[in-house]
Amino acid sequence: MNNYFDLFIIGGGINGAGIARDASGRGLKVYLADKGKVGSATSSWSSKLIHGGLRYLENYEFKLVRESLKEREVITNIAPTITKPLPFIIPYTKKLRSKLLIRLGLFLYDHLGGNTKIPKSSKINLNKKYSKILNQKFSVGFQYYDVQVDDKKLVEMNIDDAKKLGATIVEDRKVINANRIDDGWEITLDNNEIIKSKILINAAGPWINEVVNNVIKTNTNKSIRLVRGSHIITKKLYDEEIAFTLQNEDNRIVFVIPYKKKYSLIGTTEVEVKTADNPSISDEEKIYLINTINNHFVKQISNEDIVETYSGIRPLIEDYNEASKVTRDYVFDLNIQNKNSPLLNIYGGKLTTYRKLSEKVMEVLNPHLPTHNTKNWTHSKNL
What average pLDDT is seen over the chain?
93
- Distance CA(43)–CA(351), nearest Å, equals 7
Percent of the chain with pLDDT over 70: 97
- The model's confidence at residue 360, banded by pLDDT at 50, 70 and 90, is very high
Over the stretch 140-175, which tens digit does the pLDDT of each residue have?
Answer: 999 999 999 999 999 999 999 999 999 999 999 999
**How many C-beta atoms lie closer than 10 Å to residue 223's C-beta?**
11
Encode pLDDT of 32-87 as tens digits: 999 999 988 888 888 999 999 998 898 889 999 999 999 999 999 999 999 999 99
Cα–Cα distance measured from residue 13 to residue 320, given in angstroms and rounded to the nearest whole number? 26
Q: How far is CA 192 from CA 1, 175, 183, 188, 210, in A?
A: 16, 9, 21, 6, 20
pLDDT at 324 over 60: no
What mean pLDDT do residues 295-313 have?
96
Give 1's pLDDT tier (boundaries 50, 70, 90): very low
Full 3-state SS string of the chain: CCCEEEEEEECCCHHHHHHHHHHHHCCCCEEEECCCCCCCCHHHCCCCEECCCHHHHHHCCHHHHHHHHHHHHHHHHHCCCCEEEEEEEEECCCCCCCHHHHHHHHHHHHHCCCCCCCCCCEEEEHHHHCCCCECCCCCEEEEEEEEEECHHHHHHHHHHHHHHCCCEEECCCCEEEEEEECCEEEEEECCCCEEEEEEEEECCHHHHHHHHHHHHCCCCCCCEEEEEEEEEEEECCCCCCCEEEEECCCCCEEEEEEECCCEEEEECCCEEECCCCCCCCCHHHHHHHHHHHHHHECCCCCHHHEEEEEEEEEEEECCCCCHHHCCCCEEEEEECCCCCCCEEEEEECCHHHHHHHHHHHHHHHHHHCCCCCCCCCCCCCCC
Percent pLDDT > 90 in the chain is 80
Tell whether the model's pLDDT for residue 100 goes beyond 90: yes
Give CA–CA dist 125/98, Å, rounded.
16
- Position 371 scores a pLDDT of 85
Q: Is there a common fold for 4-42+152-223+328-368 and 74-147+224-321? A: no
pLDDT of residue 328: 63
Instruction: Give pLDDT tens digits for 171-210.
Output: 999 999 999 998 899 999 999 999 999 999 999 999 999 9
- Beta-bridge partner residues of 87: 145
Supply the pLDDT for residue 326: 57
What is the predicted pLDDT for the residue at 211?
A: 95
What's the pLDDT at 3? Answer: 75
The least confident of 24-28, 274-278, 288-292 is 274-278
Domain at 4-42+152-223+328-368, CATH class:
alpha beta
Residues 6+ apart with CB under 8 A from 182: 340, 341
State the average pLDDT over residues 104-128.
94
Domain ranges of the chain: 4-42+152-223+328-368, 74-147+224-321
Strand partners, 91: 141
Residue 112 to residue 68: CA distance in whole angstroms: 10
Check whether 322 has a pLDDT greater than 80.
no
Q: Which residues contact 104 (CB under 8 A, 6 or more apart)?
A: none
CATH number for region 74-147+224-321: 3.30.9.10
pLDDT for 93 beyond 50: yes
Question: pLDDT digits over 227-259, tens only?
Answer: 999 999 999 999 999 999 999 999 899 999 999
The dihedral sign for the CA sequence 166, 172, 173, 176: positive
Q: Reply yes or no on whether the pLDDT at 134 is more than 70.
A: yes
